[in-house]
Amino acid sequence: MFNRESSLAGALKSSWLLAALLGAAIFPAQAQNASTIKLGIVSFLTGPAAAPFGIPGRNGAEVLIDAMNAGKVPAPFNKIGFGGTTVEAKYIDETGSAANVVTEFRNLVQRDQVEAVVGYISSGNCLAVTPVAEELKAITVFYDCGTPRIFEEKPRAYVFRVSPLSTIDNVGAARYLLAKKPDVTSYSGINQNYAWGQDSWRDFTGAMQVLAPKVTIDKSLFPKLFAGEYGAEISTLLTSSSPVLHTSFYDGDLEAFLYQEQARALDKRMTIIATTGEAAIWRLRDKMPDGTIIGARGPFGPLAPDSEFNRWFQKIYTDRYGTPPTYPAYQMVMSLLGLKLAYEKARKGDTKPTSDEIAASFKGIEFEGPAGVVKLAIGDGHQGIMGTAYGIYRFNKAKNEPEIVDIMRFPAECVNPPAGVTADDWIKDGMKGAKC
């Protein structure tokens, strides 16, 4: 088969197969319905980030869109779908290289002609999608990624993020720690060695430096992502005298670490601050050590303020999926509600609003959802700010369910940088202008 004859002519003639495949790829685009509003929902549906984040996010979208289409969402969101037109969601997996993610984004916008895309968990994917969204003038709402770089690198016109920055996670954690344990003298950290872990640790140490300059860092550990085995790290931490351990671990790494450290009673020596711990409580239950300081990347899940809206959302979600909603579900719901409001504000009569009209009405929007009030106050009106909350984990044996007690709330202006200041600079310069 390596003879000269087939060398170039070779596969050329088999392009019929290719044409068939391309045809098949185009075909789903034809099935369009003009009487609905199409949304692209992108989330991890496979891979390690699916179970803790991707699937709760998708479920949040599914349950809310069904409720919207039935007109059952509490006022002022009680119009059917988006402004009376039902919404049809197309779910796409976020797994794959940046090239795949960007290609699939283009496919949603140009092939499937969606009105807006809501999604993305990985900060790298958000950064890769942003310039394409701007180029295609496609309304895009990021729901879970937290990197401040999106709106700090350049002003954006069509990209929005209702969910707060990851900055609030660690500034909030530092404030909670110092409020509850003012006599702390040193702390340690274990974070995954990739952008998320590095950024989390930098924000936390930066905030601690500002709020309590005398407190020292003892051990700063960076095992590799998805290492799964932490024997050496736990040994190192057992030799540390610091009473507190900061971690931004999630899912498999968090579970593996907690199982392994409990066998060696590390949590009896130091209090663990798990900034994303809330996403794991319903699965870990009594395997999560009592006394762990838990965050939910904002006022989400059990840390969400009690309101009728919140109870309604918890009920419809729990009824459908058998487990209460965790923070990715809240982030998705808040993002969709923001988009719905902006869309309805931009809509005049029966014509569909353009991207520019939606963007104009989305900018600086403020509303109250199941997670409380959010305001798109920074990033030139494209980035939401919310307060955050931290609390202490207890497994309630009598009720046989997890609970978070001793909850402390921090207002939005207390944990977010003001408009026009980058998150890094704000922390470095002493968090000026914070109103707590």
Least CB distance to other proteins at residue 232 (A): 18
Compare residues 125 and 292 and give the one whose CB is closer to other proteins.
Answer: 125
Sign of CA dihedral 95, 100, 101, 103: negative
Distance in angstroms (rounded) separating the CA atoms of residues 73 and 190: 41
Give the HSE-up count for residue 122: Cα atoms under 13 Å, Cβ half-sphere: 21
Compare residues 70 and 98 and give the one whose CB is closer to other proteins.
Answer: 98
Q: Which residues bind other proteins (CB under 8 A)?
A: 1-2, 4-15, 17-18, 21-22, 24-26, 28, 45-46, 90-93, 97-100, 102-104, 106-107, 109-112, 123-124, 127-128, 131-132, 135, 147, 149, 153, 193-196, 198, 224-225
CA-nearest of 233, 263, 228, 227 to 245 is 233
Least CB distance to other proteins at residue 286 (A): 30
Compare residues 29 and 419 and give the one whose CB is closer to other proteins.
Answer: 29
Strand order from edge to edge, sheet including 366-369: 366-369, 372-378, 383-385
Least CB distance to other proteins at residue 226 (A): 12
Compare residues 93 and 380 and give the one whose CB is closer to other proteins.
Answer: 93
The one-letter amino acid code at 171 reads V
CA-nearest of 213, 273, 221 to 243 is 273
Compare residues 39 and 92 and give the one whose CB is closer to other proteins.
Answer: 92
CB atoms closer than 10 angstroms to residue 18 = 10
Placement of tokens 């993002």 in the chain: 335
Mapping DSSP to helix (H, G, I), strand (E, B) and coil, where does residue 90 land? Answer: strand
Distance in angstroms (rounded) separating the CA atoms of residues 402 and 290: 10
Compare residues 221 and 272 and give the one whose CB is closer to other proteins.
Answer: 221
The one-letter amino acid code at 272 reads I
Least CB distance to other proteins at residue 378 (A): 20
To the nearest 10 degrees (0 to 180), the angle between helices 123-136 and 195-211 is 100
Compare residues 167 and 292 and give the one whose CB is closer to other proteins.
Answer: 167
Compare residues 16 and 34 and give the one whose CB is closer to other proteins.
Answer: 16
- Burial class of residue 9 in the structure, from the number of CB atoms within 10 Å of its CB (0-12 exposed, 13-18 middle, 19+ buried): exposed
Least CB distance to other proteins at residue 293 (A): 26
Cα end-to-end span (Å), the chain? 74
CB atoms closer than 10 angstroms to residue 341 = 20
Least CB distance to other proteins at residue 11 (A): 4
Compare residues 8 and 263 and give the one whose CB is closer to other proteins.
Answer: 8
Least CB distance to other proteins at residue 150 (A): 10
Least CB distance to other proteins at residue 345 (A): 28
Indicate the DSSP class of residue 214.
T
Compare residues 3 and 351 and give the one whose CB is closer to other proteins.
Answer: 3
3-state helix, strand, coil in the chain (%, to 5): 45, 20, 35
Least CB distance to other proteins at residue 217 (A): 17
Which two tokens mark 367?
A: 């509303």
Which residues, including other chains, have CB under 8 Å from residue 162's CB and lie 6 or more apart? Answer: 141, 143, 331, 334, 335, 337, 338, 374, 376, 384
Least CB distance to other proteins at residue 225 (A): 8
Which residues, including other chains, have CB under 8 Å from residue 183's CB and lie 6 or more apart? Answer: none
